[in-house]
Amino acid sequence: MPVNSRFTLPYLFSSLLALFALGGLWYAIGQPVILADAASATHKMQCVSYSPFGKDQSPFDQPFVLRAEQMDGDLALLATRFECVRTYSMTGLEAIPELARKHGLQLMLGAWVSSNPVDTEIEVQALIKAAKANPDVVKAVIVGNEALLRKEVTGDQLVKLINQVQAEVTQPVTYADVWEFWDQYPQVAPAVDFLTIHLLPYWENDPAGIDKALAHVADIRQEFGQRFAPKDILIGETGWPSEGRQRETALPSRVNEAKFMRGFVQLAEQHGWHYNLIEAFDQPWKRSSEGAVGGYWGLFDADRQEKNVLAGPVSNLPHWPLWLAFSGGLLALSLLLAGRPASTRAALLLPPLAAVGAAGIGLWAELALVTSRYLAEWLWAATLIALNLLVLAHAVLSLSARNGRRAVLYAWLEARAGWWLAATGFAGAVMMLALVFDARYRSFPSAALLLPALFYLCRPVAGPRREIILLAVLIGAGIVPQLYEETLGNLQAIGWAITSTLLLGALLRSLRLARD
């Protein structure tokens, strides 16, 4: 690209530094981490939760059809790592005992207990039938999963169902729920043959970070073991998500999932605990009710591919070189669009500014692939990418020696810059409201708004005054409440607070410019 000779060295230095920074960013995210293995060819773990849905399936599908060949392949894969699988419903899983027998697996069969007594009775009768017909495969039965948490039955109703099943089957009978609910419904524990408790540090009301999660699990398990002895305790669900939003200090990532799972298996085997890991495969359908994080608790991904959670080096972003190539390409295209810098100062600033834009677009695109579930969310993600591309073009052209078509394009972008800022403010206000009033399942969109916020803070533009005032009020009013709600231990929340503050500054500077 044509660059004035007196700008060449500063420009080259700045460009190399920007490219190096991009490489460092993606490598830092994706670098593999070596941990002690929890599984090997000769060591099988106890049990794992299994939902038989492909990545394009959901239990809410109508008609409800499960693929026998997929279940067969799934159990064949799980048999290489586990001794048994836990299921949650009998609907569509009539062939599970036969498939488990084929692959040498034991079963903890579950009946789905709901507020609908007819559906519950169908599930319970199917559970009884399968347990009676397959005593060699079904080692225990679970009457209901978190039905008390969902408030779909009372404790007394649940006890009646447990007694009904106990009268019909020879296997041990239990009920599964989050550990606190065994305290809230004390009539249930005497009815079961053993207690099944769920210990999910990420979802606790006071979330435990990865450095404290295993100690929390150990404390609860020890307490329950002492309180309910001689009845055994099964840790019926424990795990860690590999994607999704941070909750206080609890950060989802593949590396943290591997740290938790490998550490837990070692801890459980040292203490002789019975356990079941959640879960076998990522379940994208869960994102509809639990946000992005709900779909990523699997030891394998939704395509049944290794996530290296249990063995081998693990990376938070295995394909980070592709994202580096993507953002590096955006950087190169941005510099090509800009052409010759307008000054030595512009030569130094242009590549880093382009790198910020390229990194933001890349990070937002990667997040969108994880979080987007339906058309509206894909359109939202695509709109923010388009907005970033327009702002990136405006930013790099503002530092270039414009002539010809570049001058025409810059004039077009400059004339509409106030609306680019207003659109950024609108996106920021919408997300701020969501993160203040309905934050539990919301991801932080900092990467999507960083470039517009930073650029229009440093180079203010006049926007539509009334709209800008409203957006500034909404964003400014939400910064402290959302940060208070998330706590200062949440780095993602801090990043969002910083981005929001930059955006607020850009909106306020726009108002000053309009007044002047």
pLDDT band (50, 70, 90) for residue 1: very low
Helix (H, G, I), strand (E, B) or coil at 160: helix
Per-residue model confidence as pLDDT tens digits over 23-71: 999 999 999 999 999 877 678 999 999 999 988 888 888 777 888 899 9
pLDDT tens-digit map of 247-270:
999 999 999 999 999 999 999 999
- Give residue limits of the domains in the chain: 5-29+318-515, 43-295
Question: In this structure, which long-range contacts are made by residues 95-101, counting pairs with CB atoms below 8 Å and at least 24 apart in sequence?
Answer: 95/68, 95/71, 96/52, 96/71, 96/130, 97/130, 97/133, 97/134, 97/137, 97/138, 99/68, 99/71, 99/72, 99/75, 100/75, 100/137, 101/134, 101/136, 101/137
pLDDT at 516: 44
pLDDT of residue 462: 93
Do residues 245 and 492 lie in contact, with contact meaning Cβ atoms separated by under 8 Å? yes
Cβ pair 108, 87 in contact under 8 A: yes
Residues 186-232 have pLDDT tens digits of 999 999 999 999 999 999 999 999 999 999 999 999 999 999 999 99
Please classify residue 316 by burial: count the beta carbons closer than 10 Å to its beta carbon, then call 0-12 exposed, 13-18 middle and 19+ buried: buried
Confidence of residue 4 (pLDDT cuts 50, 70, 90): low
Q: Are 338 and 350 in contact (CB under 8 A)?
A: yes
pLDDT of 18 above 60: yes
Average pLDDT score over the chain: 94
pLDDT of residue 5: 57
Mean pLDDT of 75-102: 96
Report the distance separating Cα 342 and Cα 3, nearest Å: 9
∠ CA 242-244-247, nearest 5°, is 105
pLDDT digit string, tens, across residues 401-415: 998 999 999 999 999
pLDDT tens digits, one per residue of 340-395: 999 999 999 999 999 999 999 999 999 999 988 889 999 999 999 999 999 999 99
Could you say which of 3.40.50.300, 3.20.20.80, 3.40.50.720, 3.40.50.170 is the CATH number of the domain covering 43-295?
3.20.20.80
What's the pLDDT band for 6 if we cut at 50, 70, 90? Answer: low
**pLDDT cut 70: percent of the chain above it:** 98
The band of 101, judged by pLDDT with boundaries at 50, 70 and 90, is: very high
- What does pTM read for this prediction? 0.93
Helix 117-133 to helix 155-166 angle (10° resolution) is 30
461-495: pLDDT as tens digits:
999 999 999 999 999 999 999 999 999 999 999 99
Residues counted in the chain: 516
| pLDDT value at residue 62 | 73
Reference 265, options 304, 329, 310, 213; nearest CA is 310
pLDDT at 249: 95
Q: How far is Cα 443 from Cα 447, in angstroms, rounded to an integer?
A: 11
pLDDT tens string 107-125: 999 999 999 999 999 999 9
pLDDT at 515 over 60: no
C-alpha to C-alpha distances, 398 to 32, 251, 391, 413, nearest whole angstrom? 39, 38, 10, 10
